[in-house]
């Protein structure tokens, strides 16, 4: 495997006074097409716990809070906001459903915008999902789940795909590290190709990192990683130093 190109060092500048007001990242939000499948995947398959459900959010304040910038841009362009994917929460033509789901160290927020007449937890969202996606798209995001140190990552990938296939979640497909030209080849690839293992010292600070990239049940970009050896030490040291710096400020 070719070595990773080393990144240029980045000078760490003094953070602004605003940084003192932060406690850290609270949650990651993900807008989904099929809320039912999303809830099944993140709670039943991955074990998250629903802590706050909010169904049917709408109205003037909610609309302005979430959609004001996009609505103003539509008005200035002289186009119907709905034609560029902006729902009408103000008048209740569309509603927003959200679920906050707790994992061990972070909260995931699932959101679905839908027609007000549609049933919650359904599979039809507003607007319709773009049929294409790539991690390289501008503003694309991904959620990364942290695997325990003793997990066999390749076996985890195999079991995850089997569990999701059993539940009809055909979108859940993990990439392999070998070049493939068909879905059939991907399914039949060797177990050892299920994850990218950066274990050679030539990988520098990445040494000890194992990476899996995949699509979730709604086509969202997901990652599972395991962090060992040098990479683990660097992350743990950084966290300790960050917490120490916060105390000293």
Total number of domains in the chain? 2
Whether residues 29 and 117 fall in one domain? yes
Distance CA 63, CA 58 (A): 7
Whether residues 240 and 167 fall in one domain? yes
∠ at Cα 103 (102, 106), nearest 5°? 85
Q: Specify whether the CB–CB gap between 12 and 238 falls below 8 A.
A: no
Q: Which residues constitute the domain of residue 197? A: 140-249
pLDDT of residue 246 exceeding 70, the answer is: no
> Residues 136-149: pLDDT tens digits?
777 778 999 999 99
pLDDT of residue 8 exceeding 80, the answer is: no
Looking at 108, 129, 150, the residue that finishes a domain is 129
In a domain, residue 113? The reply is yes
Give me the pLDDT at residue 6, please: 54
Q: Is the torsion defined by CA of 77, 81, 86, 89 positive or negative?
A: positive
> Residues 169-181: pLDDT tens digits?
998 999 999 998 9
Q: What is the mean pLDDT of residues 206-213?
A: 91
Give me the pLDDT at residue 241, please: 84
CA distances from 27 to 45, 102, 133, 220 (A): 20, 9, 23, 16
Whether residues 185 and 230 fall in one domain? yes
Find all residues with CB under 8 Å of 43, minimum gap 6, and list them: 49, 50, 101
pLDDT of residue 44 exceeding 60, the answer is: yes
Whether residues 146 and 125 fall in one domain? no
> Residues 66-88: pLDDT tens digits?
999 999 899 999 999 999 899 99
Whether residues 164 and 100 fall in one domain? no
SS3 state at 21: helix
Average pLDDT over the chain, rounded to an integer: 88
Give me the pLDDT at residue 13, please: 81
239 or 147, greater pLDDT: 147
Nearest to 187 by CA among 172, 197, 204, 207: 172
Give me the pLDDT at residue 79, please: 93
Residue 127 binned pLDDT confidence (cut-offs 50, 70, 90): confident
Whether residues 48 and 145 fall in one domain? no
Find all residues with CB under 8 Å of 214, minimum gap 6, and list them: 172, 173, 174, 175, 222, 223, 224
Q: Specify whether the CB–CB gap between 133 and 140 falls below 8 A.
A: yes
158 or 244, greater pLDDT: 158
Looking at 80, 98, 129, the residue that finishes a domain is 129
pLDDT of residue 204 exceeding 90, the answer is: no
In a domain, residue 210? The reply is yes
Least confident of 18-22, 110-114, 155-159: 18-22
Q: What is the mean pLDDT of residues 38-57?
A: 94
Q: What is the mean pLDDT of residues 11-30?
A: 81
pLDDT of residue 14 exceeding 80, the answer is: yes
Nearest to 133 by CA among 218, 196, 211, 70: 218
Looking at 94, 129, 164, the residue that finishes a domain is 129
pLDDT of residue 97 exceeding 80, the answer is: yes
Whether residues 103 and 176 fall in one domain? no
Give me the pLDDT at residue 137, please: 73
Whether residues 159 and 80 fall in one domain? no
Beta strands, E only, 58-208: 94-102, 107-115, 143-146, 173-174, 196-198
- Indicate the Cα dihedral angle 121, 124, 125, 126, nearest 10°: -140
Beta strands, E only, 40-162: 49-57, 94-102, 107-115, 143-146
What CATH number is attached to the domain comprising 70?
Answer: 3.10.180
Q: Specify whether the CB–CB gap between 213 and 223 falls below 8 A.
A: yes
Whether residues 98 and 40 fall in one domain? yes
Distance CA 177, CA 198 (A): 12
169 or 128, greater pLDDT: 169
Give me the pLDDT at residue 39, please: 97
Give me the pLDDT at residue 1, please: 45
């Amino acid at each position: 495997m070719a070595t990773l190109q080393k990144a240029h060092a980045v000078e760490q500048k003094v953070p602004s006074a605003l940084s003192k007001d932060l406690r850290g990242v609270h949650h990651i939000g993900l807008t989904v097409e099929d809320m039912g499948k999303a809830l099944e995947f993140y709670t039943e398959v991955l074990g998250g716990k629903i802590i706050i459900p909010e169904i049917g959010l709408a109205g003037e304040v909610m609309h302005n809070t979430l959609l004001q910038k996009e609505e103003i841009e539509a008005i200035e362009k002289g186009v119907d906001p709905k034609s560029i994917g902006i729902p009408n929460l103000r008048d209740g033509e569309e509603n927003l459903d959200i679920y906050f789901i707790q994992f061990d160290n972070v909260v995931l927020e699932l959101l679905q915008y839908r027609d007000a007449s549609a049933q919650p937890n359904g599979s039809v969202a507003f607007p319709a999902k773009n049929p294409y996606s790539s991690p390289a798209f501008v503003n694309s995001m991904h959620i990364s789940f942290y695997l325990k140190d003793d997990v066999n990552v390749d076996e985890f990938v195999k079991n995850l795909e089997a569990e999701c296939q059993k539940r009809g979640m055909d979108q859940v497909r993990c990439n392999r590290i070998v070049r493939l030209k068909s879905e059939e080849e991907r399914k039949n690839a060797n177990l050892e190709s299920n994850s990218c293992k950066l274990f050679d010292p030539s990988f520098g600070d990445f040494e000890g990192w194992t990476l899996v990239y995949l699509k979730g049940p709604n086509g969202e970009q997901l990652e599972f990683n395991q962090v060992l050896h040098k990479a683990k030490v660097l992350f743990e040291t950084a966290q300790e130093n960050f917490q120490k710096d916060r105390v000293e400020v």
